[in-house]
Structure 1
Amino acid sequence: MNSIRGRLTLALLLCIVLSWMTWLCWQAMQMNREQTGLWDASLRDIGTQVLRSMPDSVTQLPNAPTQPQPSRFQDGKMSFQVWVDGRNVVHSPAAPAGPLKPDFRDGFGTHRIGDDMWRVYSITDRKRGIVAQVGRTQATLNRELHNLKRLSLAVAALIFSLLGLMIWIVVRWSLAPVTALHDSLLARRPLDLTPLPTEAMPTEVRPLVDSFNKLLARVDAAVQNERRFTADAAHELRTPLAVLAAHTDVALRATTIEEKDAALRRLSSGVQRSARLSEQLLDLARLDAGASTEGFGQVDLSELVVLVVRDFEALARDRGQHISLQTEPGAILGDIDQLGILLRNVIDNAVCYAGEGGQIAVSCRPGRSNDIRGMRLEVADDGPGVAEEDRARIFDRFYRAPRSTGRGSGIGLSLVAQIAQSHGACIEVGPGLKGRGFAISVFFAGAAAEH
C-alpha cells in the first residue's frame, strides 16, 4: 500500500484492534470473576430476604409446600426453597422437588440436580429452625454471561467502527494540504517554476516541499541561463556571420589575385574570431549548466600554465609579441578543464590587447593573501590598459570597454570571474608592465604542494 492515508488509517486501526483485543480478554476474565461474585452476592441477598419474610412462628407456615405471591426477589432466573424440620414448606415455581443443598450446611455450594449444575446458597435461622436455600442453574449463569459478552462485543464493534471513521476523517483532513498541492501542480503550466506554498503544509511534509522548492529554483536558474545564453548567442553571432558573408561576397567579386587574397585574409580573420566566439559561448553554456565541486582534484597549476602558454606562442610570434614565463610548482584543488578555460581566456585577453610587438609576463608561484597560503597566477601586459572607471565592469558578461580596439567579445573575462568564484579564488586587477598596460592576478587559496 503506497497511500500515506491508507497506511496511517490501517496502522492506527491495527494498533487499536490489538489494544482492544487485549483489553477484551482481560475484561472477559474480570467479568467471569466479578460476575460470579455478583451472582453469589445476589444469591446471599435474596436468601436473607426470603428468611426475613418468613413468619416468626413456624406454626404459621403451611404443612404442604406452597408457592408465595410474586415478590421482588422472584426474578424468574432464581429458585428458592424454605425448609422446616426437613419439610419443604415454601418454594418458587421453578424450584426442584428435592433440596437445592442436600447437606443443608450454610454457605455456597455447587451441586448437580437432575441434568443441571446449580449454584446454591443456604442460610439457617436456628432460633426458628428455618432453612432458606436459593440457587441458579449454571446454564442460566452461562446464558447471562454470554448475553453480557455479546452486548459488550456489539458495543465495542460500534465504537470501533465510529473510531475507524473518525480516524479516516482526521487523516484525510490532515493530508488535505498535500492533496491540494497535488491538484495545484497538475493545474500549472509546463514552465511554471514558482515555489510551492509551505504555510499550510504539515510539519512532517514541509522539509520535502522545501527540498522540492530548492530543486525548482535550480531548474528555474538553469532554464533562465539557457534562455539568456540562447539570446546572447543569437545576438553575438549575428554580426560576425554578417561580416563573414560580406567578406565572402568581396572575395567572389574580386577581379585580381591581390584583391582576392586580401578578401580571403579578412575572411580568415573573421572565421578565427567566430570560432573563438563559438568556443567561448560553449564554455559559457557549460558553466551556466551548473559547475559542481564533486569532480575537483589536485591540479599542478604551474604545469597547466606551461601547457597553455605554449599554445599561444605561435599566435604571439605572429603578432611580434614576447611572452615571458615564471613558474614554481604548486598544486591546488580544482577542475582541470575549467582551470584551462580560465588560463586561456586570461592569456588570450593579454595577447589580444597588448598590440603589435607587445610584452606579456605570465607568472605562477606560491603566495599569501591575508595570511592565507595558496597559489597566485598573474598575467600582465604593456598594452593600452583599462581605464580606472571601467575596471569594475570588465568581468560583466558581454561588456567591452568603450575605448577597446581588440577583437574580444566581452565573454572571456566573465568566464574567468565565474570559474574563479566556483574555485573560491579572488581576482585583483591593476596596472601592467612598466607602469602601463593591464594586469590580472588570481589567487587560489589553499595549501600549495611544493615539489
Structure 2
Amino acid sequence: MKTRSMRWRLTWVSVKCVLVAWLVWLGCQIWQLSRAHYGFWDESQREVASQILISMPDGLERLPERARAPAASTQDHKMSWQVWAHGRNVVYSPAAPGEPLKPDFTDGFARRTIAGQVWHVYSLADPRRGLVVQVGRSKQMIANELRTWIGMSLLAAGLILGLFMLTVWAVVGRSLRPLTALRQTLIARRPLDLTPLHAPGLPSEFTPLVDAFNDQLDRVDQALQNERRFIADAAHELRTPLAVLSAHADLARRADNADERDAALRRLSAGVQRAARLSEQLLDLARLDAEATSPALVAVEAAPLLVIVVRDFETLARERGQRISLRTEDGRILCDVDQLGILFRNLVDNAVRYAGEGGRIAVSWKRESRDAGEVMALCVADDGPGVPGEERERIFHRFYRANGGSTPSRSNGSGIGLSLVARIARTHHASIQVGDGLDGRGLAVTVTFPVA
C-alpha cells in the first residue's frame, strides 16, 4: 500500500483548512452582498444621489432634450441614475431606462420592475430648484458586480493559496531535513555500530522517537555484550573439562590391564557427567539472558515440584553415602514453573556436590511469618566444608568459585549454579540469605518467596 509522505500530508491538510475557511468567508460575503436592501449598497445609492444633486447646475430645465452624461463620470456597470427637472429627464447615465426609476418622485427607496428586470431605486429631490435625482441598480447589475467580485476574489485566493502551499512545503521540507540526514547516517553505519544517535536541529516532536531508539540501541548493545561475555566464559569453562575428558580417554586406551582401564573409564564417566552438568547450566544461563521480558508469573503449589527435584538427586546422594531429608508444607507462590525448577535443582545440586562423602543435606519448604507478611521459605542446608564468611556474598556472582576454585572440594563446581539461583530469585521478587549449615557446619541457603 502506497502512503503519502508526511511533508505532503501536512501541506495538503494545511491548504484544505485554509481553503475551507476561505470558502466559508466567501459564502458569508456573497450572502451579505446579495442583500440589496441592507448594507453599503443602500448607503452608496444615497451618497451617489446626494453627490449628483449637488453637482447639478441651475437652469437644467432650459435644456432642449435629454443629455447623456459623459462616460467618464458614470457608473453604468454598477449603477444607473436620472436627473429630472420639473418633470423632464434632463440628464441620465448611459444604462438608465427612459421611464422614471421611481414614478412618484418621492424621496426614499423602492423596488420596481422595469422592462422585466427588478430594480432597487432611491430618489432624492431638491424642491427649491425643482430637481429630482433617481439612482437605481438592476438585478443584472447586481449579478454582474457579484460575478466580478467573486472572480477577483477567486483569483486572489488562488494566488494566496499557491503561495501558502509553496511556503508550507518549503518550511516542512526544511524542518524534516535533519530527519533525512539521520536516515543517511543510519544507512552509512556499520552493522554492529550501536552508538547513540545524535540529531541536532531535529524537530521536538521527533526527539522522543530518537530517545526511544537510543534506549533500544543501548539494550541491544547490552544484550550483545552479555552474549559475547557468555561465549567467552563458556569457552573458558568448557576448555578444562574437555581437556580432562580427552586425557581420561587416552589413559583408558593405553591401559595395560582391565583394572587400569576400568579406573580410567570411571574417571571418564565422572568427567562426562560434570561436562553434561556444566553444559546444562550454561544453556539455562543462556536462556535466561535471552529472555527480553520478565516471565508471566502464575500461582503454583511448589511443594510437589520440590519433591520431584529432590527424588532426582537421591540416587546420586546414595552413591556418595549422603542422606537427604525433605520437609514440605502447603503454600502457593507466584512463579514461572520452569525457572523455579532450575532454582530448586541448582540449590540441591550445589548441596549434594559440596556436602562430601557421607554428608547430610536437609531441604525444607515451609510457611513463615515476616515483617512484610507471610512467605514461603526454601532452605537447603548441608554439613560439608562450607564457605568462608567473607566469601559468602560473592558466591552468587557468575563463574565465581569459593577459594578461587583451587581446592579439591570445589573442583567440580562451575560457578554458574548459584548465579542462576540469584537471577531467578530477583525475577520472582524473592530474597536470599546465606548462613551456617547443619550443626554449625557447611552452608545453608534460604530463599523466601511472597505468598500468592
- TM-score category (smaller protein): 0.7 to 0.9
How many percent identity over aligned positions?
56
Contact 2:364 2:380 in 1 (8 A): yes
Distance in 2 of aligned mates of 1:53 and 1:353: 126
> Could you say if the C-alpha distance between residues 263 and 67 of structure 1 is closer, same or farther in structure 2, counting changes exceeding 3 Å?
same
Alignment pair present for 1:45 and 2:47: yes
Can you list the C-alpha shifts for 1:50-89, whole angstroms capped at 9, x where unaligned? 4334455x5x742412538859854555554443343344
Contact 1:117 1:137 in 2 (8 A): yes
Q: Give the match for residue 393 of structure 2.
A: 392
Q: Secondary structure at the match of 1:33?
A: coil
Distance in 2 of aligned mates of 1:7 and 1:418: 49
1:28-427 mapped onto 2 (5 Å cutoff): 28-33=30-35, 37-56=39-58, 58=59, 61-65=61-65, 67=67, 73-75=73-75, 77=77, 79-92=80-93, 95-111=96-112, 119-135=120-136, 137-197=138-198, 202-290=203-291, 292-402=293-403, 404-405=407-408, 406=410, 407-427=412-432
> Could you say if the C-alpha distance between residues 63 and 172 of structure 1 is closer, same or farther in structure 2, counting changes exceeding 3 Å?
closer
> Could you say if the C-alpha distance between residues 322 and 158 of structure 1 is closer, same or farther in structure 2, counting changes exceeding 3 Å?
same
How many residues of Structure 1 are paired with residues of Structure 2 in the alignment? 445
Distance in 1 of aligned mates of 2:374 and 2:96: 110
Q: Which moved more, 1:395-404 or 1:93-102?
A: 93-102
Contact 2:363 2:379 in 1 (8 A): yes
Q: Secondary structure at the match of 1:273?
A: helix
Shift of 1:98: 4.3
Can you list the C-alpha shifts for 1:300-344, whole angstroms capped at 9, x where unaligned? 232222211111111111111111222222221111221111122
Contact 1:366 1:375 in 2 (8 A): yes
Can you list the C-alpha shifts for 1:353-399, whole angstroms capped at 9, x where unaligned? 11111122222211134443111111111111111222121111111
In structure 1, give the amino acid aligned to 2:302: L
Contact 1:84 1:129 in 2 (8 A): yes
In structure 2, give the amino acid aligned to 1:389: E
Q: Give the match for residue 20 of structure 1.
A: 22
Distance in 2 of aligned mates of 1:193 and 1:432: 47
Contact 2:69 2:91 in 1 (8 A): no
Distance in 2 of aligned mates of 1:412 and 1:274: 14
Distance in 1 of aligned mates of 2:93 and 2:18: 47
Q: Give the match for residue 450 of structure 2.
A: 445
Under a length normalisation based on structure 2, what TM-score does the superposition of the two structures give?
0.87
Q: Give the match for residue 432 of structure 1.
A: 437
Q: Which moved more, 1:65-74 or 1:97-106?
A: 65-74
Shift of 1:168: 2.8
Q: Secondary structure at the match of 2:34?
A: helix
Q: Give the match for residue 9 of structure 2.
A: 7
Distance in 1 of aligned mates of 2:69 and 2:427: 106
| Gapped regions of structure 1 (runs ≥ 5) | none
> Could you say if the C-alpha distance between residues 412 and 81 of structure 1 is closer, same or farther in structure 2, counting changes exceeding 3 Å?
closer
Distance in 1 of aligned mates of 2:116 and 2:367: 110
